[in-house]
Amino acid sequence: MYNFDEVVERKGTDSVKWDQTKAKGYPEDIIPMWVADMDFKTLPDINEAIKERAEHGIFGYTFVGTTYLEAVCGWMKNRHHFNVEKDWIVTTPGVVTALKIAVLAYTQKEDAIIINKPVYYPFDFSIKNNDRKIIENPMIYENGQYTVDYEDFEKKIIDHNVKMFILCNPYNPIGKVWTKEELKKIGDICKKHHVLVVADEIHQDFIYKGYEHIPFYNVDESYKDFSIICTAPSKTFNLAGLQTSNIIIANAQLREKFIATKENTGVTNPNIFGLIACETAYRKGAQWVDELVAYLEANIDFMVDYFEKHMPMCKVIRPQGLYLVWVDFTALGLDHETLEKFMLETAKLWLDEGYIFGTGGAGFERFNVACPRSVLEAALKQLSTAIETISAK
Ligand SMILES: Cc1ncc(COP(=O)(O)O)c(C=O)c1O
């Protein structure tokens, strides 16, 4: 049994999550629950493998070897019934890097790219900062559930001559695990109108009881011709600092274009430690991930229960996957600036504010619950105490 209850000191490690409070002017004792980075130590075998390689003492230019590729294919097949061939895999230093490469490789300036809303905000930057146009397809939010407005999706694709769709599968921030039927409806619309799909599947391994992750290629054989899938071990094993992701591109022409653009943007050889970490994770990490996901699901149960008992007016959108929990605070009646100030200064919680995810996000907060239960409990207590101060006014 692995121990996810251990509280590990992360301050003083140049951690993006923990070490920027001073620079931001936030209270020193704030609890950070924003960026998708876990407070757990990774799989111990990864530490061992990195130490062993470090002992060698030479860290020259490195390429992606066969055993690495076999490990990636093995993980996809064993965990997701996803048959990937070794030569479909292209590494990049991150999934966001891959999104930007895909935008540059497959679209032209001024082209329209569609995304659901609210969504992981770097989707916007990847489009906007490359002088492409964002077309929004807002999700329908009813009775705590999110569904796609397919009519709006197709109409906007036609009206704006959309060239690309960036799909978040599973979906950050709302915690949705798409069903095969939903993906088929979306995929068929894209196929019909020649829209290239970039499926960001970085959260694929965090799926809770009763749900299943469907890789976009598994929806329909023909989808391989017009889509690419972005995966990484970084969320699953807490390896973001090692900058290694695997982009799966079955279609040879799409793959060649991607590789050419990747090289032009200056991304060349991979990081030796990232490769070692990923290969070890995918060969030895299955049990660790099973235990981790069970721990996270129990954290979510704890959080849902805590809100129901102590803050019933605020609605937790129970995630079907991911360790990010989307909570509706609109009942507090605060505008988004006041809500942000309240979270930072009164509750002393550093969260990802809903409004940064765009249309439909204001009034919500995204909590990262990949932390020991004791930390989660302390955070929720701080929040309920802070909310009592509003109710008392
Ligand atoms: C949907 C999604 N894609 C990509 C990333 C970041 O990926 P990377 O660090 O590999 O760029 C995140 C991180 O939170 C994410 O949630």
Q: pLDDT digit string (tens) for 76-86?
A: 999 999 999 99
Is residue 134 exposed (0-12), middle (13-18) or buried (19+ Cβ within 10 Å)? middle
How far apart are the CA of 12 and the centre of ligand 1, in A? Answer: 23
How far apart are the CA of 95 and the centre of ligand 1, in A? Answer: 6
> CB within 6 Å of ligand 1 — which residues?
36, 94-96, 120, 168, 172, 200, 202, 232, 234, 240, 245
How far apart are the CA of 313 and the centre of ligand 1, in A? Answer: 31
Which residue(s) pair with 135 in the sheet?
Answer: 114
Cα distance between residue 248 and residue 227, in whole Å: 9
**Mutation probe of ligand 1 site: the residue of 172, 178, 202 with most atoms within 8 A of C-beta:** 202
How far apart are the CA of 203 and the centre of ligand 1, in A? Answer: 8
In degrees to the nearest 10, what's the CA dihedral of 18, 20, 25, 28?
Answer: 30
Residue 96 alpha carbon, nearest atom of ligand 1: 11
Model confidence over 16-26: pLDDT tens digits? Answer: 999 999 999 99
Model confidence over 370-384: pLDDT tens digits? Answer: 999 999 999 999 999
**Mutation probe of ligand 1 site: the residue of 34, 35, 95 with most atoms within 8 A of C-beta:** 95
Cα distance between residue 176 and residue 199, in whole Å: 14
The whole-number average pLDDT for the span 28-49 is 97
Residue 93 alpha carbon, nearest atom of ligand 1: 10
Residue 97 alpha carbon, nearest atom of ligand 1: 11
**Mutation probe of ligand 1 site: the residue of 91, 124, 172 with most atoms within 8 A of C-beta:** 172
Within 8 A by CB and 6+ apart from 25, the residues are: none
- The predicted pLDDT at position 392 comes to 65
Model confidence over 266-290: pLDDT tens digits? Answer: 998 999 999 999 999 999 999 999 9
The whole-number average pLDDT for the span 87-92 is 98
Q: What percent of the chain has pLDDT over 70?
A: 99
Residue 120 alpha carbon, nearest atom of ligand 1: 1
The whole-number average pLDDT for the span 314-326 is 98
- The predicted pLDDT at position 390 comes to 80
Which residue(s) pair with 142 in the sheet?
Answer: 145
Residue 36 alpha carbon, nearest atom of ligand 1: 14
Residue 291 has pLDDT above 90, yes or no: yes
In angstroms, the first-to-last Cα distance of the chain is: 47
- The predicted pLDDT at position 393 comes to 61
How far apart are the CA of 17 and the centre of ligand 1, in A? Answer: 14
Q: 196-200 and 227-231 as β-strands: parallel, antiparallel, unpaired? A: parallel
Domains of the chain as residue ranges with CATH: 21-43+287-392 (3.90.1150.10), 47-285 (3.40.640.10)
How far apart are the CA of 59 and the centre of ligand 1, in A? Answer: 27
Average pLDDT, the chain: 97
Which residue(s) pair with 248 in the sheet?
Answer: 89, 229
Q: Whose CA is nearest to atom 14 of ligand 1?
A: 36
**Mutation probe of ligand 1 site: the residue of 206, 235, 322, 356 with most atoms within 8 A of C-beta:** 235
The whole-number average pLDDT for the span 328-335 is 96
